Structure 1
Amino acid sequence: MYNIVIGCYGQETNTFNPMLTTLEAFEWAGDFRQKADCSDLRSYNKAYFEVLQQRSDVKVIPTVSAWAQPWGPCQRSAHEHIKGEILRICREAGKVDGVLLSLHGAMVLEDDDDAEGDLLEALRQLLGPEVPIHAVLDLHANITEKMLRNASVLINYHTYPHIDGADRAKESARILLDTLDGKIKPVMKARKLPLLPEFIPTAWAPVKNFQERCAALEKQPGVISATIAYGFFCADIVESGACAIVITDQNPEKAQLFADQIGCEMWAERKSLLRNFANLDESIDDVLTHPDRRPCVFADCWDNPGGGAPGDGTHILRRLLERKVEGAVIAYLRSPETVAQAEKAGVGASIEVSLGGKYFPELCGAPVKATAWVKSISNGICDAPGIPERDFRRIGKLAALLIDGLTVIVSTGFAQTWTPEGIIACGIDPKNCSIIVVKSSVHFRDAFEPIAAKIYDIEVPGKSEQKIANLTFRKCRRPIFPLDEFPDDHPGWLS
């Protein structure tokens, strides 16, 4: 009988956000201490269980499902609490034959830049050198030497928008079972690069080409996995940056060769890994010039809760009101006080509101004061394909407010805009909107591209910075592109 430990724990940490992530941030999401009982259809624990339950010789040992919204550095006490729960369950299990974890890879503590490495090291010390420890990581993980030393297998998502997390979890589980059965002996090698890519969808070149290269490598005999971590540059740590990881069956030379090849291809295209953005007023002009082209989508990339921003930025809202743009909808602006105010007044009432600007008004925009008509109130998104369960739960209650022909959907919680379901839940047909403003950088594209006449990635100030050049780094390893120039013949290897 194989005893296999499973669990999910993580956060994408924006170190440029000074507000600490507390233990309550994990508990509030409803995830902490949730046992892997398969009731959560989007839990990676569920994905692991789907593979493991097919075997009568496997006992699943669930630990935690603890995932926090991207925010500032995590408190050490919160990390120790959750890590301690995982270690406690492993100790009480007695014999552990393998570990399957879903982590993020860019989680930073208030006093340690490598939360995942700390957890993996603790597990390795507890379980010994022979027990396979697997971790599925976000495509924007910052791979550290401690993670590489202590994990047997690291697999990154293939897609951005991240729609393949459960698939990668199942892949990791199958690799573990094959390892325990003696069919394979995974060997992992990596190539780290002095490169900080910006946030580019995997459907766009050259990232699309890199992912296709990985897929082709995985079809070669003896190659178990080939993935890329593009890094998360909003985590200012020494080891932030891109990394190619290849896992083979007992062939370290081949694994290193292929990781180096992927790294070479990425380095050669480094200048193409920077993203372009649209001017707000020019985008509004373009929409007004083509009134029959709807809906157009404005991505408020810099106020993306999925990147550590508060989701209550007001720059786009204020400008749309100033330009008297009608038929637009903003989804969503975090304002629990306004939702409560709308609930108390009721649908059809007029209320005086102060929207947004609660967290970083000097950067994200001051509050917008206006008279609003309560259009509808919703309990939120009950379910929607493509949205992680933790995110539609975090959005919370919604209230649609009409202000001078523009609709603002305010929410009690905050999570980035994945799909139009929240808009629909408020009684609004997104296809009839002139502009849909989404608080997201890329994840919205999977659901909104099929209905959008045109998408504009808007550049306005916010806490979810999209341009590396706008940030002041203090810890990041130097030199690194694009912060530093490199000669054309530089190989791109870290010394």
Structure 2
Amino acid sequence: MYKILIACYGQETNTFNPMTTKLEAFGDPEKFLESADFSRLRGTNAAFYEVLSKRTDVQVIPGLYAWAQPWGRCERSAHEHIKGELLRLCRQEERIDAVLLSLHGAMALDDDDDAEGDLLAALRAELGEGTPIAAILDLHANITEKMLKNANILINYHTCPHIDADQRGREAAALLLDTLDGKIRPLMQARKLPLLCEFLPSAHPVINGFQQQCRQFEQEPGVLSVSIAYGFFCADIYESGVCILAITDQNAQQGQSILRRIGDDIWQQRQSLLREYVDLDYAIDQALAQPELYPVVFADCWDNPGGGAPGDNTHILRRLLERRVKGALIAYMRSPETVAQAEKAGVGACIEVSIGGKFFPELCGAAIKKKAWVKSLSNGVYDPPGKLSRDFRRIGKLAALIIDDMYVIVSSGFAQTWSEEGIRACGIDPASCSIIVVKSSVHFRHAFEKIAGRIYDVEVPGKSEQKIANLNFVNCKRPIFPLDPMEG
């Protein structure tokens, strides 16, 4: 009987956000263990539970579920509490035969750039060298030497939006079981590139080409897994950057060949990995000139709560109001005070609101004070679309407001615009809008590409996913592209 400890723990840390992440951001500390009901997490990267639980010779030991919204560096005390809970679970068992974790891979502490590496090292020290440790990581993980040293199997998502979390979880579970059964002896190798990469969808022709290469290599005998971590460039850490992972059945030469070929290809095409943005007024002009394309989607990429931004940037809202654009919609503006105000006043009421400008007004714009009509209220709970990972329904309460001739949906929580379902929950048909502004950089595409006549990534100041050249990097290893001129 194999005893396998499983757990979900992580955060994507934006180190350019000066505010810290506290323990409560990961959920109720008293319920971390209760939250680890992995049977309910089908369709997520915790789907590995289903694979493991089907084996009659496996005893699954549910660990904890602690996941925080992307934000600033995590406080060391919070990390120590969660790490301590996992280690306590290990110690209370007579033995642990293997560990399978769902991590992010880009979590940083207020005194350590590598939270995942610290956790994996602690588990390795507790369990010994002979215990297989596997983890599923985000596509934007920053792979570190400590992570590589202390894990046997690391597998990244292949897609952005992250619609393959289920498959990656199952893949990791299958490899771990094959390892325990003695069918394979995984040898994990990595190649780091001096390259910072902005968020790009996996449908991007160049990114798609890299992923196709990985899938082709996985067809070779002895190749167990090939994946690319594009890194999270909003984490200014020494080991930030793109990393290719190759796992073979004890074939170092085969692994090195794969790493060389994929790495060389990525490096030669690095210029193609720079994301392009458009001027806000240009995007508005283009949208208004082509009403047959409605709804047109504006991605407020640099105010993406999924990248550690607050979601209350007012630049686009202010400009749409100034230009008297009719039928536009913004989803979502974080303003818990406004949500509470709307709830108290009730649907149909007219209220004076102050939206935005709460976190970084000097960068993200001052608050907008206007008269608003309360159109509808929602608890913010809806079924996420398709195969997006984890439980993204917890976006907080929503209030749909009518300000001048446009809709503004305000949220009580940090709410990346994953899909149109949150909009529909507020009684608004997104297809009836002229312009839809989403607080997201890539994940919105999974849903909105189906209804948008055109999509513009607009350029306005913000706290996440900025142009790499605009960020003040201090800690990352230099030289690195595109911060430094690099030949070859």
Task: Please say if residues 31 and 66 of structure 1, whose CA atoms lie closer than 8 Å, have aligned partners that are also in contact.
Answer: no
Task: Please say if residues 384 and 391 of structure 2, whose CA atoms lie closer than 8 Å, have aligned partners that are also in contact.
Answer: no
User: What's the counterpart of residue 430 of structure 1?
Assistant: 430
User: What's the counterpart of residue 474 of structure 1?
Assistant: 474
Q: CA deviation at 1:388?
A: 4.3
User: What's the counterpart of residue 167 of structure 2?
Assistant: 167
Task: Please say if residues 217 and 226 of structure 1, whose CA atoms lie closer than 8 Å, have aligned partners that are also in contact.
Answer: yes
SS at match of 1:353: strand
Matched, 1:41 2:42: yes
| Amino acid corresponding to residue 228 of structure 1 in structure 2 | I
User: What's the counterpart of residue 66 of structure 2?
Assistant: 66
User: What's the counterpart of residue 492 of structure 1?
Assistant: none
User: What's the counterpart of residue 19 of structure 1?
Assistant: 19
Distance 1:115 1:356 in 2: 31
Task: Please say if residues 4 and 100 of structure 1, whose CA atoms lie closer than 8 Å, have aligned partners that are also in contact.
Answer: yes
SS at match of 1:85: helix
Q: Deviations over 1:335-393 (max 9, x none)?
A: 11101111111111110000011000110110000000111111113322245454321
Q: CA deviation at 1:42?
A: 4.6
| Amino acid corresponding to residue 335 of structure 2 in structure 1 | S
Distance 1:39 1:13 in 2: 26
Distance 1:138 1:325 in 2: 38
User: What's the counterpart of residue 413 of structure 2?
Assistant: 413
User: What's the counterpart of residue 368 of structure 1?
Assistant: 368
Range with greater deviation from structure 2 (23-32 or 326-335): 23-32
SS at match of 2:143: coil
SS at match of 1:60: strand
User: What's the counterpart of residue 288 of structure 1?
Assistant: 288
Task: Please say if residues 165 and 389 of structure 2, whose CA atoms lie closer than 8 Å, have aligned partners that are also in contact.
Answer: no
Q: Which runs of 4+ in 1 moved over 6 A?
A: none
SS at match of 2:39: coil
SS at match of 1:292: helix
Q: What fraction of aligned residue pairs are identical, expressed as a percent? A: 66
Distance 1:150 1:172 in 2: 16
Q: Deviations over 1:424-473 (max 9, x none)?
A: 01111111110111000000001110111000111100000331000011
SS at match of 2:60: strand
Q: CA deviation at 1:261?
A: 1.3
| Amino acid corresponding to residue 149 of structure 2 in structure 1 | R
User: What's the counterpart of residue 120 of structure 1?
Assistant: 120
Q: CA deviation at 1:257?
A: 1.5
Task: Please say if residues 31 and 390 of structure 1, whose CA atoms lie closer than 8 Å, have aligned partners that are also in contact.
Answer: no
SS at match of 1:475: coil
User: What's the counterpart of residue 392 of structure 1?
Assistant: 393
| Amino acid corresponding to residue 369 of structure 2 in structure 1 | K
Task: Please say if residues 155 and 227 of structure 1, whose CA atoms lie closer than 8 Å, have aligned partners that are also in contact.
Answer: yes
Distance 1:382 1:448 in 2: 16
The total of aligned residue pairs comes to: 486
User: What's the counterpart of residue 449 of structure 1?
Assistant: 449
Matched, 1:205 2:205: yes
User: What's the counterpart of residue 252 of structure 2?
Assistant: 252
Q: CA deviation at 1:32?
A: 3.0
SS at match of 2:228: strand
| Amino acid corresponding to residue 341 of structure 1 in structure 2 | Q
User: What's the counterpart of residue 269 of structure 1?
Assistant: 269
Q: CA deviation at 1:30?
A: 10
Matched, 1:328 2:328: yes
User: What's the counterpart of residue 151 of structure 1?
Assistant: 151
SS at match of 1:116: helix
RMSD: 1.3
Task: Please say if residues 69 and 415 of structure 1, whose CA atoms lie closer than 8 Å, have aligned partners that are also in contact.
Answer: no
- Extract unaligned runs of 5+ from structure 1: 489-495
Task: Please say if residues 339 and 397 of structure 1, whose CA atoms lie closer than 8 Å, have aligned partners that are also in contact.
Answer: yes
Matched, 1:215 2:215: yes
Distance 1:337 1:200 in 2: 34
TM-score (norm 2): 0.98
Range with greater deviation from structure 2 (285-294 or 10-19): 285-294
Task: Please say if residues 29 and 68 of structure 1, whose CA atoms lie closer than 8 Å, have aligned partners that are also in contact.
Answer: no
User: What's the counterpart of residue 493 of structure 1?
Assistant: none
Q: CA deviation at 1:228?
A: 0.4
Task: Please say if residues 331 and 439 of structure 1, whose CA atoms lie closer than 8 Å, have aligned partners that are also in contact.
Answer: yes
Distance 1:415 1:32 in 2: 22
Distance 2:32 2:310 in 1: 22
Q: Deviations over 1:37-92 (max 9, x none)?
A: 413435533x1211011110000011111110000000000000001111110111
Q: CA deviation at 1:107?
A: 0.3
SS at match of 2:392: helix
Q: CA deviation at 1:288?
A: 0.8
Distance 2:284 2:296 in 1: 10
Task: Please say if residues 353 and 370 of structure 1, whose CA atoms lie closer than 8 Å, have aligned partners that are also in contact.
Answer: yes
Task: Please say if residues 31 and 67 of structure 1, whose CA atoms lie closer than 8 Å, have aligned partners that are also in contact.
Answer: no
Task: Please say if residues 313 and 357 of structure 2, whose CA atoms lie closer than 8 Å, have aligned partners that are also in contact.
Answer: yes
Distance 1:190 1:382 in 2: 39
TM-score (norm 1): 0.96
Task: Please say if residues 392 and 415 of structure 1, whose CA atoms lie closer than 8 Å, have aligned partners that are also in contact.
Answer: no
Distance 1:189 1:442 in 2: 29
Q: Deviations over 1:243-294 (max 9, x none)?
A: 1000001111111221121111111111111000111000000011112221
Task: Please say if residues 327 and 406 of structure 1, whose CA atoms lie closer than 8 Å, have aligned partners that are also in contact.
Answer: yes
User: What's the counterpart of residue 458 of structure 2?
Assistant: 458
User: What's the counterpart of residue 54 of structure 2?
Assistant: 54
| Amino acid corresponding to residue 250 of structure 2 in structure 1 | Q
Distance 1:305 1:459 in 2: 16
Distance 1:197 1:292 in 2: 34
SS at match of 1:136: strand
Q: CA deviation at 1:415?
A: 2.3
Q: CA deviation at 1:35?
A: 2.1
Task: Please say if residues 45 and 390 of structure 2, whose CA atoms lie closer than 8 Å, have aligned partners that are also in contact.
Answer: no
Distance of aligned partners of 1:388 and 1:346 in 2 relative to their CA distance in 1, 3 Å threshold: farther
Q: CA deviation at 1:165?
A: 1.4
Q: Deviations over 1:102-152 (max 9, x none)?
A: 111110000000000000000111111111100111111111100110000
Distance 1:265 1:334 in 2: 41
Task: Please say if residues 16 and 235 of structure 1, whose CA atoms lie closer than 8 Å, have aligned partners that are also in contact.
Answer: yes
Range with greater deviation from structure 2 (334-343 or 27-36): 27-36
SS at match of 1:436: strand
| Amino acid corresponding to residue 475 of structure 1 in structure 2 | N
SS at match of 1:121: helix
Task: Please say if residues 32 and 67 of structure 1, whose CA atoms lie closer than 8 Å, have aligned partners that are also in contact.
Answer: no
Task: Please say if residues 199 and 466 of structure 1, whose CA atoms lie closer than 8 Å, have aligned partners that are also in contact.
Answer: no
Distance of aligned partners of 1:37 and 1:144 in 2 relative to their CA distance in 1, 3 Å threshold: closer
